[in-house]
C-alpha cells in the first residue's frame, strides 16, 4: 500500500497506538528466562511503522518495559513515542534516572515533504509496575518540552496514543495544541477501550479508534490544503477487517501475487517461533464453542461459565491442602480475553483466551451466609443510588488499572440495540458475521458489510457455584484474584460488622496462576479415557 501511495503521489503513514504484550502465544508463550514479546517484537520491528505509541500492557511488568526501552525502541529510530511514560534506569555513572521509555515526541518529514509533529500519549494508567511512571495528561501538557514540541507549526499534528477518542483526555491534548495553532490539521489515532469509534473535534481534525487485538485496521485519510487555510477539511475513515481478502482487495492483488519475500519470511519466522514455544501442545479437545458475549451467562456455551464454574474449581484445588474445604471463587469477567473454539485446545488457545498471570488469594473462615452475598453485592452494590456511586468508583479504579471490558461490553450492547432496530434491512443482505459500527463521523465506517454477532450482557464479576449441603453459619474459603482484592474487601466489610477485613487477612490459595487454569482443566475434562492428548 505504501508503493501504491507513491504511485498516486500521496503519503501513507503506518501507526500503532499501543499494546504489543499479552494476548497470544507468540508473545506470551516464552520459556523460562524469556521476556514477554521479546521474540515477537523482533518481527514487528521489521514492519514499516512511521510512529508507534506505548500502551498500558508495556508497563505492567518492569522487565517488559526495560526490554522495550533497551531492545525495541532503538529499532524505531526515535519514532516509538511515550510522551507521558517513563522508566527508571541506571545512567553511565550508576545513578538511577527516570527517562522516557521511548521518545516524548517526533518531528519528521513524509516522503512527499510534509512536516509532521507526532506525540504518543497514554491514558492515566495506575497499574504500572515499580520503577515506571505515568504522568497525568493534564500535567504533561504543562511541561516545557511539550511547549517546545508544538511551538513550530507542522503541516499536521499526528497524535497517536493508547487512550480512547471519547470520554477520556484527548480534548486536553487537542485544546493545548489548538491554543497555539488554531487551524493546523490534527489527526488523532487512539486506542485502549477495544471499540471502533470516530469523532471530529472540529472541522480540521479527526479522532479514530480502531478496535482491539488486530481485529481491525483503522484507515483515516485527509485532503490537506495550503498552510494558513482555515476551512473544513475532507476526511474519510474506514474499519478494515485484517485478513487476506481485505488486503488483496485494497492492494489489487490476487492470492498468487499478494505475498512478498519479506512477508513470507516473517510468516515462516512466526511458525518457527510457535514451534520453539511449543504452542501446538494440546491439553485436550474442546467439545464445542465457548464465547464471552455470544452466549448467555451463566450457560453451557459461556466461556465465563467455563472458566469460573467448571475450570477454576478443578484447576485451583490440584495438590491443594485446602481442596476439601468448601469455597466460593470470584474473578472479574474482563479476565477472560477471547472465546474458546471447538476442537484441539492448545497452549496458544489457553494464552489467547486467558493470558493474565493473576494470582489467587483467599480469606478463610468466612461464614457461608456472608460469603454467598459478596458476588451479588459486587454486581448489584445494594441500593440503586449507592450502586451507581460504587460501580462508578470501582469502574474508575479498574479502568485506571487497565480494565476495559465494561466499556467494550457497553459498546457491544449499543451496537446490538442499533442492529436490532435495523434487522429488516439487514436480513435482505447476507453479510458475514462481525462488527456493525455506528460512530459520530460521516459516511459508512465498516469496510465490509456484516451481520451483527449475537450479544448477551454479562456481569462485571463472576463466581463459582455454591458448595453443596451447606448452611449459612458454616465457614468457607472465599477465593478471588488479587487484581480484585480492593472490591472484595470493601464488599466484605459492608456486609458485616464483626470483623474489618484487610489485605493482612489474605493468603495465597495456590501457586497456579489464572493463565494456567483452562489448560489444567482441559487435561482432566477434555481427554477421552482411551487416548492421550500429546
The helix/strand/coil state of 330 is strand
pLDDT band of residue 119 (cuts 50, 70, 90) is very high
- Cβ atoms of 118 and 161 within 8 Å: the answer is no
Beta bridge partners of 20: none
Q: What's the pLDDT band for 127 if we cut at 50, 70, 90?
A: very high
Q: Give the pLDDT confidence score for residue 426 in this predicted structure.
A: 54
Q: What is the pTM of this model?
A: 0.93
- What is the pLDDT at residue 532? 43
531 pLDDT exceeds 70?
A: no
pLDDT of residue 388: 66
Chain segment 6-31, per-residue pLDDT in tens: 999 999 999 999 999 998 999 999 99
Write out the three cell numbers for 292: 464471552
Distance, in Å, from the CA atom of 319 to the CA atom of 307, rounded to the nearest integer, reads: 19
**Domain chopping of the chain, boundaries:** 2-241, 280-406+457-525, 409-452
Lowest mean pLDDT among 69-78, 258-267, 380-389: 380-389
* The Cα angle at residue 327 between residues 325 and 331, in degrees rounded to 5: 145
Residue 273 makes CB contacts below 8 A (sequence gap 6+) with 26, 39, 40
CA distance 411 to 23: 21
Q: How far apart are the C-alpha atoms of 90 and 107, rounded to whole Å?
A: 27
Averaged pLDDT, 433-458: 92
Lowest model confidence (mean pLDDT) among 359-368, 430-439, 481-490: 430-439
Question: What residues pair up with 103 in beta bridges, in sequence order?
Answer: 81
pLDDT score, position 381: 57
Res. 530 pLDDT band, cuts 50 70 90: very low
| Choice among 129-133, 271-275, 456-460 with the minimum mean pLDDT | 456-460
Query: Which among 489, 483, 487, 491 is positioned nearest to 503, based on CA atoms?
Result: 489
d(C-alpha 465, C-alpha 313), whole Å: 9
Neighbouring CB atoms inside 10 A of 429's CB total: 9
* pLDDT tens-digit readout, 40-70: 999 999 999 999 999 999 999 999 999 999 9
The span from the CA of 522 to the CA of 534, in Å, is: 12
Rounded-to-integer distance, Cα 14 and Cα 30, Å:
28
CATH of domain 2-241: 3.60.21.10
Residue pLDDT, tens place only, 418-428: 888 876 655 55
Q: Looking at the predicted structure, is the pLDDT value of residue 533 above 50?
A: no
CB contact set of 314 (below 8 Å; sequence gap of 6+): 520, 521, 524, 525
Stronger pLDDT, 534 or 522, i.e. the higher one: 522
Does 383 score more than 80 pLDDT? Answer: no
pLDDT above 50 (res 211)? yes
Q: Nine-digit cell at 96?
A: 538511577
**280-406+457-525: CATH, from 3.50.50.60, 3.50.80.10, 3.90.780.10, 3.30.470.20:** 3.90.780.10
Distance CA 369, CA 91 (A): 56
Answer yes or no: are the C-beta atoms of 159 and 129 closer than 8 Å. no
Cβ 163 vs Cβ 152: under 8 Å: no
Amino acid at each position: 500500500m505504501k508503493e501504491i501511495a507513491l504511485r498516486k503521489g500521496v503519503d501513507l503513514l503506518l501507526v500503532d497506538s499501543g499494546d504489543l504484550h499479552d494476548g497470544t502465544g507468540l508473545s506470551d508463550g516464552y520459556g523460562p528466562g524469556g521476556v514477554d514479546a521479546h521474540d515477537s517484537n523482533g518481527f514487528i520491528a521489521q514492519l514499516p511503522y512511521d510512529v508507534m505509541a506505548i500502551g498500558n500492557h508495556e508497563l505492567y511488568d518492569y522487565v517488559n518495559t526495560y526490554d522495550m526501552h533497551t531492545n525495541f525502541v532503538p529499532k524505531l529510530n526515535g519514532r516509538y513515542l511515550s510522551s507521558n511514560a517513563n522508566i527508571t534506569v541506571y545512567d553511565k555513572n550508576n545513578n538511577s534516572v527516570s527517562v522516557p521509555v521511548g521518545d516524548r515526541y517526533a518531528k519528521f518529514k513524509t516522503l512527499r515533504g510534509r512536516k509532521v509533529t507526532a506525540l504518543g500519549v497514554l491514558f492515566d494508567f495506575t497499574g504500572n509496575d515499580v520503577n515506571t511512571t505515568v504522568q497525568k495528561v493534564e500535567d504533561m501538557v504543562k511541561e516545557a518540552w511539550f511547549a517546545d514540541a508544538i511551538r513550530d507549526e507542522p503541516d499536521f499534528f499526528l497524535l497517536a496514543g493508547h487512550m480512547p477518542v471519547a470520554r477520556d483526555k484527548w480534548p486536553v491534548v487537542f485544546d493545548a495544541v489548538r491554543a497555539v495553532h488554531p487551524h493546523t490539521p490534527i489527526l488523532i489515532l487512539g486506542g485502549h477501550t477495544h471499540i471502533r469509534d470516530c469523532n471530529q473535534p472540529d472541522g480540521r481534525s479527526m479522532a479514530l479508534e480502531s478496535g482491539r487485538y488486530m481485529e481491525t485496521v483503522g484507515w483515516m485519510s485527509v485532503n490537506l490544503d495550503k498552510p494558513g487555510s482555515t476551512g473544513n477539511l475532507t476526511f474519510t475513515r474506514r474499519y478494515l477487517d485484517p485478513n487476506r481478502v481485505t488486503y488483496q482487495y485494497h492492494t489489487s492483488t490476487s492470492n498468487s501475487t499478494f505475498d512478498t519475500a519479506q512477508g513470507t519470511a516473517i510468516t515462516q519466522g512466526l511458525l518457527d517461533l510457535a514451534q520453539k514455544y511449543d504452542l501446538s501442545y494440546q491439553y485436550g479437545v474442546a467439545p464445542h464453542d465457548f464465547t464471552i458475549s455470544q452466549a448467555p451467562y451463566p450457560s453451557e456455551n459461556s466461556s465465563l461459565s467455563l472458566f469460573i464454574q467448571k475450570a477454576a474449581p478443578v484447576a485451583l484445588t490440584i495438590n491443594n491442602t485446602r481442596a476439601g474445604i468448601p469455597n466460593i471463587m470470584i474473578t472479574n469477567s474482563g479476565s477472560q480475553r477471547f472465546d474458546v473454539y471447538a476442537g484441539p485446545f492448545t497452549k496458544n488457545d489457553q494464552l489467547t483466551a486467558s493470558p493474565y498471570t493473576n494470582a489467587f488469594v483467599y480469606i478463610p473462615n468466612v461464614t457461608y451466609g456472608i460469603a454467598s452475598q459478596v458476588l451479588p453485592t459486587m454486581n448489584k452494590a445494594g441500593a440503586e443510588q449507592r450502586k451507581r456511586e460504587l460501580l462508578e468508583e470501582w469502574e474508575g479504579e479498574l479502568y485506571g488499572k487497565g480494565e476495559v471490558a465494561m466499556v467494550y461490553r457497553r459498546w457491544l450492547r449499543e451496537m446490538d440495540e442499533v442492529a436490532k432496530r435495523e434487522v429488516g434491512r439487514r436480513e435482505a443482505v447476507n453479510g458475514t458475521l462481525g462488527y456493525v459500527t455506528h460512530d459520530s463521523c460521516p459516511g459508512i465506517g465498516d469496510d465490509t458489510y456484516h451481520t451483527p454477532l449475537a450479544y448477551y450482557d454479562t456481569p462485571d464479576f463472576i463466581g463459582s457455584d455454591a458448595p453443596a449441603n451447606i448452611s449459612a453459619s458454616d465457614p468457607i474459603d472465599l477465593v478471588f484474584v488479587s487484581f480484585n482484592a480492593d472490591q472484595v474487601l470493601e464488599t466484605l466489610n459492608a456486609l458485616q460488622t464483626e470483623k474489618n477485613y484487610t489485605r493482612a487477612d489474605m493468603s495465597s490459595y495456590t501457586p497456579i496462576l489464572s493463565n494456567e487454569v483452562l489448560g489444567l482443566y482441559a487435561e482432566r475434562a477434555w481427554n477421552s479415557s482411551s487416548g492421550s492428548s500429546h
